[in-house]
């Protein structure tokens, strides 16, 4: 399943040079992830009820073309990698300008956190189904988890 969301940019997203702030790109990617899970019936409230939340290990952004003040942007979210159990995953976010040109790509590497124990955990079945249903990138990889990491 393909996931993309449109956002009108805000004045507060821009710096004095009329460039969208670097951190605003990542904020829109994070909002797209929240909306992706909410659209699949897994709102933040539901994740709290399930006692699980995402935790990021890495976030890497490539800036390609600037976005202008007042543009409506589109953020596409693709699955770049996932472990067989869904406990670790990689997303690729593509941010498009209003004219449809690619403005930035953001890759994240993340896992699921037990919110009470504050330790990594397997995702509930509903979360795994969302990950499994996502459109995969051409270079999708199965993330291997070593036995040593599982024991911790």
Instruction: Give 10-residue mean pLDDT values along the chain (152 residues).
Output: 94 93 97 96 95 97 96 98 96 98 98 97 93 97 78 45
Model confidence pTM above 0.85? yes
Per-residue pLDDT, 148: 52
State the Cα–Cα distance between residues 90 and 60, nearest whole angstrom. 11
Per-residue pLDDT, 146: 79
Backbone angles phi, psi at 145, to 5 degrees: -115, 125
Measured torsion, CA atoms of residues 68, 74, 80, 84, in degrees rounded to the nearest 10: 140
State the Cα–Cα distance between residues 82 and 128, nearest whole angstrom. 10
Question: Residue 129's domain spans which residues?
Answer: 3-151
Number of domains in the chain: 1
Q: What is the CATH number of the domain that holds 44?
A: 3.10.129.10
């Amino acid at each position: 399943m393909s996931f993309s969301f449109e956002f009108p940019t805000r004045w507060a997203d821009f710096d004095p040079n009329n460039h969208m702030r670097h951190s605003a790109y990542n904020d829109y990617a994070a909002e797209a992830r929240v909306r992706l899970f909410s659209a699949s019936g897994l709102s933040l409230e539901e994740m709290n009820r399930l006692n699980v939340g995402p935790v990021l290990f890495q976030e890497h952004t490539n800036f390609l073309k600037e976005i202008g003040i007042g543009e409506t942007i589109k953020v596409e979210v693709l699955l770049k990698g996932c472990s067989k159990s869904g406990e670790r995953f990689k997303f690729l976010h593509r941010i498009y300008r209003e004219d449809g040109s690619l403005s930035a790509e953001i890759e994240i590497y993340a896992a699921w956190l037990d919110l009470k124990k504050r330790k990594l955990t397997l995702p509930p079945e509903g979360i795994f189904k969302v990950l499994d249903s996502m459109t995969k990138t051409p270079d999708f990889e199965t993330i291997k988890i070593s036995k040593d990491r599982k024991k911790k």
